[in-house]
């Protein structure tokens, strides 16, 4: 009987554990769905980055953590949070990756380093409108307000200013008897999730070369997500300054536009067809419709600086991006007036653009034409040298300027294109 009871207890515990893992998975999936479904700049930025990470349940951690590849979470803890805080935790772990904290830990004390990292991240997330657990670490909140910590400092700077566990603050005046040592309790004092060193495929701590490669991947991802998000509007100032300050290589315009196109297509959900993965759990999430991108407008500047070489290269690279989708492309050739309109769909075969010489350039005519003739525009892409006249205010739809010069448009997203030699 004792053996049977023990086996029954083990079985019951396993059933409870599996049920909690399903709840945790649903909580994470719901948070990601809400990020993907909203298309403002903030959520576009974080949803683009979150899609690069896998979520894995882990009963070995109290809250959540990331190693630069995965978001690990305790199923019982994550399912206990309100939905808005689950979304905040996802954004928190994304920011750890954007700041490459998994590669910057070094030999520092893990617990103290995670507090310092949270102090660097959380003010930006609060400014961005995310909800975080009430135990969140902030420089101006107890108990850290007693340390007179600076605002907008790096994790390394916060780390140097925090007292050690034995009460030594790293300076000349360490706390007596350790009374200033352990400011907050618990393995995750902020309750928002922490950081682990980057791991290799076997789960061991990654070598320096692997860590550098992963860090460079996150620089590229953050840059792409930043540029895609700016097509949707303004990012919160703190995040905008952070990403602008990241030293990064030039991102090809095709990569940014591909990311934008993918994001736009994946935002097309059908609430009439529930996602079967979660329907069995009583969770109602939308399913993806077909990969339909919708109506795009391509404005081609016909001034003398846009010639056959530019058009041939641009058409080939643009078609490579659009081939995966059902898309209707309206092409407007213009100088100061729209002189020719061409329609192209994915099924029409190779995209061909016509060289049409012209004089001066103005984009007012393009936006006037769209207002008169296009009902629902997914986005506008313009091939131009940007020596042009533009409206003072941006339209409601995203605008991407693929630019052959060093000019930068006052609004929309400017992506430089380098014309290859024949």
Angle of helix 253-266 relative to helix 41-50, nearest 10 degrees?
100
Q: Give the DSSP per-residue string, 197-265.
A: --B-TTSSBPPHHHHHHHHHHHHHHHHHHHHHHHTTSPPPHHHHHHHHHS--PPPPHHHHHHHHHHHHH
Cα separation, 118 vs 113, whole angstroms:
9
pLDDT of residue 360: 76
Nearest 5°: phi and psi at 126? -65, -45
Cα separation, 409 vs 334, whole angstroms:
18
Q: What is the pLDDT along the chain (422 residues), one digit of tens a residue?
A: 344 457 767 777 788 888 899 999 999 999 988 887 777 889 989 999 998 999 999 999 999 999 999 999 999 999 999 999 999 999 999 999 999 999 888 888 889 999 999 999 999 999 999 999 999 999 999 999 999 999 888 889 899 999 986 544 443 333 334 444 567 777 788 889 999 888 877 777 888 778 888 988 898 899 888 888 888 888 888 888 888 776 444 567 777 777 777 666 644 444 444 544 444 444 444 444 445 666 889 999 987 667 787 888 888 888 877 776 777 889 999 988 998 999 988 778 888 887 666 667 889 999 999 999 977 788 899 999 899 999 988 888 888 888 888 888 888 888 888 776 54
Side-chain-side CA neighbours of 169 within 13 Å: the count stands at 18
Give the SS3 label for residue 295. strand
Nearest 5°: phi and psi at 324? -80, -5
**Element housing 344 (H / E):** strand 338-345
Nearest 5°: phi and psi at 173? -115, 70
Q: What ranges do the domains of the chain cover?
A: 2-251, 258-416
**Residue tagged 């953590």 (tokens):** 65
Architecture per CATH, domain 258-416, reads as 3-Layer(aba) Sandwich (3.40)
pLDDT of residue 8: 67
Q: Is the dihedral of CA 63, 67, 68, 71 positive or negative?
A: negative
- Whether this prediction's pTM lies above 0.85 is answered by no
pLDDT of residue 292: 60
Instruction: Pull the structure tokens for residue 165.
Output: 């566990």
Going across the sheet that includes 194-195, the strands are: 54-57, 70-73, 64-66, 194-195
- How far are the Cα atoms of 11, 96, 195 from residue 157, in angstroms, in the given order? 49, 16, 17
Cα separation, 91 vs 64, whole angstroms:
12
Within a 10 A sphere around the Cβ of 221, how many other Cβ atoms?
A: 19
Q: Are 89 and 193 in contact (CB under 8 A)?
A: yes
The partner residues of 328 in beta bridges, in order of sequence, read 295, 345
The partner residues of 57 in beta bridges, in order of sequence, read 73
**Residue tagged 């703190």 (tokens):** 238
């Amino acid at each position: 009987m004792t053996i049977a009871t023990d086996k029954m207890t083990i079985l019951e515990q396993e059933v409870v554990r599996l049920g909690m893992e399903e709840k945790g998975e649903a909580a994470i999936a719901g948070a990601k769905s809400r990020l993907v479904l909203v298309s403002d700049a903030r959520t576009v930025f974080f949803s683009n980055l979150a899609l690069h990470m896998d979520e894995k349940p882990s009963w070995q951690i109290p809250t959540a953590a990331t190693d630069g590849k995965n978001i690990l979470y305790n199923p019982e803890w994550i399912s206990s949070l309100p939905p808005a805080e689950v979304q905040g935790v996802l954004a928190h772990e994304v920011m750890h990756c954007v700041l490459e904290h998994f590669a910057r830990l070094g030999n520092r004390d893990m617990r103290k380093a995670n507090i310092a990292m949270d102090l660097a991240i959380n003010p930006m997330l609060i400014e961005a409108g995310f909800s975080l657990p009430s135990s969140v670490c902030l420089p101006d909140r107890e108990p850290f307000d007693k340390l007179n910590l600076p605002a907008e400092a790096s994790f390394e700077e916060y780390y140097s200013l925090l007292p050690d566990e034995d009460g030594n603050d790293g300076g000349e005046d360490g706390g007596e008897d350790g009374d200033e040592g352990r400011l907050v309790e618990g393995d995750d004092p902020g309750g928002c999730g922490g950081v682990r060193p980057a791991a290799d495929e076997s789960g061991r701590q990654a070598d320096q070369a692997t860590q550098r490669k992963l860090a460079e991947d996150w620089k590229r991802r953050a840059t792409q997500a930043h540029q895609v998000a700016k097509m949707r509007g303004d990012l919160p100032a703190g995040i905008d300054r952070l990403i602008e300050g990241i030293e990064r290589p030039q991102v090809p315009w095709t990569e940014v536009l591909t990311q934008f196109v993918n994001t736009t297509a994946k935002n097309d959900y059908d609430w009439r067809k529930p996602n079967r993965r979660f329907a069995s759990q009583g969770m109602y999430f939308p399913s993806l419709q077909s990969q339909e991108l919708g109506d795009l407008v391509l404005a081609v500047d016909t001034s003398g600086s846009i010639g056959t070489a530019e058009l041939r290269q641009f058409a080939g690279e643009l078609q490579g991006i659009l081939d995966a989708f059902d898309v209707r492309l309206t092409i407007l050739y213009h100088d100061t007036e729209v002189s020719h309109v061409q329609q192209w769909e994915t099924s029409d075969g190779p995209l061909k653009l016509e060289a049409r010489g012209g004089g001066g350039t103005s984009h007012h005519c393009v936006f006037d034409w769209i207002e008169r003739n296009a009902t629902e525009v997914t986005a506008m892409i313009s091939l131009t040298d940007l020596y042009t006249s533009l409206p003072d205010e941006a339209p409601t739809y995203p605008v991407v300027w693929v630019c052959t010069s060093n000019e930068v448009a006052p609004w929309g997203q400017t992506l430089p294109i380098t014309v290859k030699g024949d």
